[in-house]
Amino acid sequence: MEETTFHLFSEEDRAQYAPLKAAIDQLAAVCDGARRRDGAGFSGVDTRLGHWLARLPLAAWPEAAFERAWKLAQKYARQLKRAGIDPASLPRPRDTRGGMRHLAIHPSGEGFMLLFPYDAALIASLRQRFPARFRHDPVKHFFLPRDPNPGLALLQWAHTHEFTLGSGVRFALEQEQPDNGKDERGSACAKR
């Protein structure tokens, strides 16, 4: 399995979007969660996504987040211009359709988050194989705890289902864990 199989955006590709991340961070810094109509920060419909993108480091952004962040920056162009950021100069991400499935380290560091559009068969496959839980913190995703480490079984599952990997995921999953429920072949035993 080559690393490039998992990444649509390399680390160098992501670095060029630092100004886009700065724009999102600027909007989040002045946002009051849409409690008042003050023209500062995100509107109610964008608050969750905007603050989530601001909380995540750029290296952990799912592939599809780049286009959504760019659209947010264009939507809030007037605010960004007042803050000295030119939205027209922000690089527009390339087409990421097909990169809509992403596995990242949860911002809390306590586990892994799987983000993907609703797909009943994929959800059934995930739940059959791993003890995944659905969460809303602040975006909808499935969560797998780090302990026990799902390890290479999750890497293989992600590869089979064409997930992209966030920064540090491969390293975190490849770490050996003593007695982490693996059978003699090295794959995780399904808990029923």
Stretch 30-56: mean pLDDT = 84
Residue 164, beta-bridge partner list: 102
110 shares its domain with 84: no
Of residues 94 and 38, more confidence is placed in: 38
Stretch 89-105: mean pLDDT = 76
Q: Which of 66, 89, 112 corresponds to the end of one domain? A: 89
The DSSP annotation for 98-135 comes to T---EEEE-TTSSEEEEE----HHHHHHHHHHS--EEE
CA 108 from centre of chain = 13
Give, to the nearest 10 degrees, the angle between helix 18-30 and helix 47-55.
120
Would you state the pLDDT for residue 43? 85
Q: Which of 89, 112, 145 corresponds to the end of one domain? A: 89
Of the candidate ranges 25-39, 51-65, 106-120, 170-184, the one whose mean pLDDT is the lowest: 170-184
Position 45 in a domain? yes
**Total domains, the chain:** 2
9 shares its domain with 68: yes
**Residue 122's domain spans which residues?**
102-174
Position 64 in a domain? yes
pLDDT band of residue 25 (cuts 50, 70, 90) is: very high
CA 23 from centre of chain = 18
Position 122 in a domain? yes
Position 10 in a domain? yes
pLDDT band of residue 189 (cuts 50, 70, 90) is: very low
Position 142 in a domain? yes
Position 159 in a domain? yes
106 shares its domain with 132: yes
9 shares its domain with 84: yes
Would you state the pLDDT for residue 18? 95
Region of 146 (left: φ > 0; alpha: ψ -120 to 50; beta: rest) is: alpha
Would you state the pLDDT for residue 89? 95
Would you state the pLDDT for residue 74? 95
Position 185 in a domain? no
Would you state the pLDDT for residue 6? 39
Q: How many CB atoms lie within 10 A of CB 141?
A: 22
Handedness of CA 61, 66, 67, 73 (dihedral sign): positive
With 0.85 as the threshold, say if the pTM is over it.
no
| pLDDT tens for each residue of 127-172 | 899 888 887 766 678 888 888 888 899 999 999 998 888 878 888 8
